[in-house]
Chain A
């Protein structure tokens, strides 16, 4: 009789420990998602800064410069980031699923030129603009020997590679979090609480042209 009771209490305790461990894990995963997103924001911002530096360096012809500048411009929220705005300001809407328009219901009212292109598309555009510039035949050869050219190109490539890595890590932790949230126990007991499910961030982030030979893989 007492033994039975002890077993029941022990089982309940074990269960409680297990559930709180699961809840803690989901909580930790969400924190990791936030950290990975911040890291991704930083790498995207850094990439667009170096790309702008290349555009305004005077190393490139004006058309390529303008293309890059326009692509960088597209990744910035209208009116710039402002003093207090964090890089993820655009992320609140822009990190959403691909194709989702930031600006939401205003889309029909606001004239097209003031609506912001979703962040994933704008960042992909920047990738493609960089790729179009870098994949010109003899691009490197035409710049080598110019002052600061090699360093700047290397910096752009490094920044682009960091975006690739940061996005990979971000999507990894998003996948793990979504998986943990999908577990039956998590669903039944609503372990994630009010935290919304994190979204994957999909974009074109490869500076190397696709094997198809088309400069954009279009």
Chain B
């Protein structure tokens, strides 16, 4: 299949939507499809071969923050040309309610269009989708995908119509192998944590409390903590002074270093107290094959297959966490078994699975339809 994908945000700025599009495009290419992505990008940004740059994105205030978007008649003509030359069987737009390339693509294109909605639209923006220009664009969409139940609910309630939920995948391949950070995990063992340090729902405080039990019992055990914090010093001061030099804070790390962190520890801990619908970080740790100890919130029960693919502890209970982590640290055989089970379980969430689900949406919308083309009036003003 020839697939054209539009990305609304600048390719050179890290972000969830861009990452999703990259992973999806690569998974679709692996499945043997022909994929072309158009995205705003600076002229000197090196782009993967499947990405067409639509010119520099302009920073504009949108929704209370500054977003880098492509708009204006020059962008319209670039999108037109891309669609004309692409000869796509299906056009897949992402976030068509954002004033950028996806909305423009909906406007100028005719033929089978699939749209993916990533975020739940805040109430303040709901009004905006009623503007005729947006309505016209959204009405051309033949199939809608929401990446979460929350995103789907917003669509159903505020825009009307329905969407299939296809959650984000995990690029398991990227996590499989990496060099541990120098000196890690070390002879005394190490426990890892990834996530915002000062977001209570990520549960770092539970892990730190558990370390107060584990640390004195196991003189060599260390904590490796990566993630942004507004005040890292304050985090460190929550640890008793005698244990402090065994807690290593890396701050925010790059994607590559994140994988290395996962390979630098004996046990990975997901102490979240709630607020996770899927637990992407936990799934990534599974893809790296690290044995996992996680709180027993619903999201983790599901992804860890009720404890088959990782040790579960009572949510928010540091003593139970200390016991569970202790069992893993003392049992190399148990660790190896959990690691293998996690690798097997996470395959269900791989992007190749997501790509196949998305492909079946494509196949549905192209039935009885012609190729994607530029509308007669597209790019002209109605």
**Residues of A participating in the B interface, judged by any CB pair closer than 8 Å:** 55-56, 58-59, 61-67, 69-71, 73-74, 78, 111-114, 117, 121, 124-125, 128-129, 132-133, 136-137, 139, 142, 146, 215-216, 218
Q: How far is the CA of A23 from the CA of B202 in the complex (A)?
A: 59
Q: How far is the CA of A113 from the CA of B382 in the complex (A)?
A: 33
B99 touches A67 (CB 8 A): yes
| B123 proximal to A (CB < 8 A) | yes
Min CB distance A146 to B, Å, is 7
Q: How far is the CA of A111 from the CA of B64 in the complex (A)?
A: 14
Given contact pairs A62-B103, A114-B123, A136-B73, a sample of 8 additional A-B residue pairs in the complex whose CB atoms are under 8 Å apart: A63-B101, A64-B99, A67-B99, A70-B99, A71-B61, A125-B64, A129-B61, A216-B59
B103 touches A125 (CB 8 A): no
Q: How far is the CA of A61 from the CA of B100 in the complex (A)?
A: 10
Q: Mark B73-99, 1 if CB is under 8 A from A, else 0.
A: 111100000000000000000000001
Q: How far is the CA of A61 from the CA of B137 in the complex (A)?
A: 11
B103 touches A63 (CB 8 A): yes
Q: How far is the CA of A177 from the CA of B74 in the complex (A)?
A: 49
Question: Nearest 10 CB-CB pairs, A to B?
Answer: A113-B122, A63-B71, A125-B61, A66-B99, A62-B133, A63-B99, A136-B72, A67-B99, A132-B60, A113-B123
Please indicate the chain A residues that have their CB under 8 angstroms from the CB of B74 in the complex. 136-137
A-B contact pairs, 13 of them (CB 8 A): A62-B104, A62-B133, A62-B137, A63-B71, A63-B103, A66-B134, A73-B127, A74-B61, A128-B60, A132-B60, A139-B72, A142-B73, A216-B60
A215 touches B58 (CB 8 A): yes
A64 touches B71 (CB 8 A): yes
Q: How far is the CA of A218 from the CA of B66 in the complex (A)?
A: 10
Please indicate the chain A residues that have their CB under 8 angstroms from the CB of B58 in the complex. 132, 215
A73 touches B124 (CB 8 A): yes
Q: How many residues of chain B are within 8 Å of chain A by beta carbon?
A: 36
Contacts A70-B63, A133-B72 given; does A61 touch B104 at CB 8 Å: yes
Q: How far is the CA of A114 from the CA of B127 in the complex (A)?
A: 13
Please indicate the chain B residues that have their CB under 8 angstroms from the CB of A215 in the complex. 58-59
Specify which of B63, B76, B134 is in contact with A61 (CB 8 Å cutoff). Answer: B76
Give the residue among A65, A70, A71, A74 with the most B Cβ atoms within 10 A. A70
Min CB distance B64 to A, Å, is 5
| B70 proximal to A (CB < 8 A) | yes
Please indicate the chain A residues that have their CB under 8 angstroms from the CB of B136 in the complex. 62
| B107 proximal to A (CB < 8 A) | yes
Please indicate the chain A residues that have their CB under 8 angstroms from the CB of B132 in the complex. 56
Give the residue among A61, A73, A112, A121 with the most B Cβ atoms within 10 A. A61
Please indicate the chain A residues that have their CB under 8 angstroms from the CB of B72 in the complex. 61, 63-64, 133, 136, 139
A65 touches B128 (CB 8 A): no
Q: Mark B258-272, 1 if CB is under 8 A from A, else 0.
A: 000000000000000
Please indicate the chain B residues that have their CB under 8 angstroms from the CB of A113 in the complex. 122-125
Q: How far is the CA of A174 from the CA of B136 in the complex (A)?
A: 47
B133 touches A129 (CB 8 A): no
Min CB distance B296 to A, Å, is 28
